[in-house]
């Protein structure tokens, strides 16, 4: 038996809104099954469960703001159905009929009585004058926005910390100010700013760039697409992604996460793709095991990922599983793009506009299709020497497109 927690859907997220439950108590679920939808500042995403079992309880009602790490549901073998919720939230769903209360108990069980808050000593009992009030980032931000002094609240989080639920009811929220579901450009920009500020503050970036001759790739692609119907034709982006994924598999120092214990190389290449949203902002969902996919499979997943990123339906695993990310701005007419690493990843690969330009070919000059590739990498993990080898590997792979 275990609690299913509000997941972190990115380095810039400290809370989210539970939009919809897709299961009910008593439902049997399988690993990877979508059980809820969660809204963040960037999008509404489907959240999967990571174990087989039975949904024994749902702790949080729909349309509720919840801190990352808060228990949302209990997954077990079914034997715990109807037990009291262990997550500190209001369990709902099937419950056993309560016993008839005795006279002294009846005074404590009026139908409209709100359950008492978890017992916590008042702030003044635990904190000395001038001591910083422990609170989650989301609770601290909301209290600041609404002008609520944290020192006047009791915390129900770990070690008495104040979390979002402790602010509920402290100040009425009018219909005009109540958050609504859907895209909010201001929230999106704030979320991106927080993540990128953290990246530039904590990660010592270094940058490299090179120009790659695409003559062989262009010729092979034209040959391939000549025999395919329009819906099955490949774009250069599929070749770029496959070559990048294969290079990441070889140079594992650029494929993984940097955390409290340092860098941990990933066991698979889950290649993120920065996708521009029509309302503004971007998300970077990942294609799982990108290095093992054929070019047609990769092209299909690229199209599907962009469609779902802009129309809804991204999954938790796609938003949190990326091991390195590609940002491509060639369709916006940009020759070269230098990305900012998305923590906890350690590499961002930039792809510019494929354009015709004069290149040295053997002893002469020829006008050929070429593209600028760039790398932003974490200097804590590797140096420019390895980064150069990585970009050279991508270049060599693109010279043999038939082998991709």
pLDDT confidence of 174, banded at 50, 70, 90? very low
Q: Which CATH class is domain 2-96?
A: mainly beta
Does residue 15 contact residue 138 with C-beta atoms inside 8 Å?
A: yes
Taken in order 326, 332, 337, 341, the sign of the CA dihedral is negative
- 3-state SS class at 166: helix
Would you say residue 60 has pLDDT above 70?
A: yes
Region 187-204 average pLDDT:
84
Does residue 349 contact residue 324 with C-beta atoms inside 8 Å?
A: yes
Q: Give strand pairing partners of 344.
A: none
pLDDT tens figures, 389-404: 999 999 999 999 999 9
Region 181-205 average pLDDT:
78
Domain chopping of the chain, boundaries? 2-96, 186-403
Would you say residue 118 has pLDDT above 60?
A: no
Q: Which pLDDT score, from 0 to 100, does residue 120 have?
A: 53
pLDDT tens figures, 31-55: 889 999 888 766 778 888 888 999 9
CA-to-CA distance for 383 and 179, rounded, in angstroms? 45
Does residue 236 contact residue 214 with C-beta atoms inside 8 Å?
A: yes
pLDDT confidence of 102, banded at 50, 70, 90? very low
Q: Which CATH class is domain 186-403?
A: alpha beta
The H or E element containing residue 210 is: strand 205-213
- What Å distances lie between residue 213 and 332, 369, 388, 394, CA to CA? 20, 6, 16, 11
Q: Output the pTM of the full model.
A: 0.69
**Pairing, β 28-29 against β 53-58:** antiparallel
Q: What angle do CA 144, 147, 149 make, to 5 degrees?
A: 85
Q: Which pLDDT score, from 0 to 100, does residue 130 have?
A: 44
- Mean pLDDT highest for which of 1-15, 61-75, 78-92, 208-222? 208-222
pLDDT confidence of 10, banded at 50, 70, 90? low
pLDDT confidence of 169, banded at 50, 70, 90? low
Q: How many CA atoms lie within 13 A of 391 on its CB side?
A: 24
Identify which of 273, 281, 269 has the alpha carbon closest to the alpha carbon of residue 195: 281
CA-to-CA distance for 149 and 95, rounded, in angstroms? 37
Poorest-pLDDT segment among 65-69, 166-170, 192-196, 315-319: 166-170
Q: Which pLDDT score, from 0 to 100, does residue 150 have?
A: 77
pLDDT confidence of 361, banded at 50, 70, 90? very high
């Amino acid at each position: 038996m275990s609690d299913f927690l509000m997941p972190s859907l990115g380095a810039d997220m400290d809370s989210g809104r539970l939009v919809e439950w897709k299961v009910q108590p008593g439902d049997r679920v399988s690993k990877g099954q979508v059980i809820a939808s969660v809204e963040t500042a960037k999008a509404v995403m489907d959240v999967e469960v990571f174990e087989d079992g039975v949904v024994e309880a749902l702790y949080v009602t729909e349309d509720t703001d919840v801190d990352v790490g808060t228990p949302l549901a209990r997954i077990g073998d079914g034997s715990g159905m109807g037990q009291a919720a262990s997550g500190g939230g209001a369990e709902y769903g099937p419950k056993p009929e309560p016993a008839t209360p005795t006279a002294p108990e009846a005074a404590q069980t009026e139908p409209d009585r709100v359950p008492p808050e978890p017992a916590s000593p008042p702030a003044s009992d635990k904190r000395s004058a001038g001591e910083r009030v422990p609170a989650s980032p989301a609770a601290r931000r909301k209290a600041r926005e609404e002008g609520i002094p944290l020192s006047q609240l009791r915390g129900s989080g770990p070690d008495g910390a104040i979390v979002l639920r402790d602010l509920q009811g402290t100040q009425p929220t009018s219909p005009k100010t109540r958050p609504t579901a859907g895209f909010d450009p201001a929230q999106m920009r704030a979320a991106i700013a927080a993540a990128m500020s953290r990246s530039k503050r904590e990660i010592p970036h270094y940058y490299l760039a090179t120009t790659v001759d695409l003559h062989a790739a262009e010729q092979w692609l034209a040959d391939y697409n000549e025999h395919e119907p329009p819906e099955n034709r490949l774009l250069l982006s599929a070749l770029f992604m496959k070559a990048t994924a294969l290079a990441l598999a070889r140079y594992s120092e650029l494929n993984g996460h940097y955390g409290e214990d340092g860098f941990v190389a990933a066991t698979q290449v889950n290649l993120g793709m920065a996708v521009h949203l029509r309302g503004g902002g971007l998300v970077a969902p990942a294609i799982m095991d990108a290095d093992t996919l054929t070019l047609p499979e990769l092209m299909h997943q690229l199209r599907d990922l962009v469609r779902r990123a802009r129309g809804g339906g991204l999954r938790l695993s796609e938003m949190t599983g990326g091991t390195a990310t590609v940002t491509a701005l060639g369709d916006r007419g940009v020759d070269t793009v230098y990305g900012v690493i998305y923590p906890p990843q350690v590499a961002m690969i930039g792809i510019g506009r494929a354009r015709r330009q004069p290149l040295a070919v053997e002893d002469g000059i020829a006008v050929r299709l070429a593209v600028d590739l760039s790398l932003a990498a974490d200097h804590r993990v590797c140096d420019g020497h390895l980064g150069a080898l990585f970009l050279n590997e991508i270049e060599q792979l693109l010279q043999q497109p038939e082998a991709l």
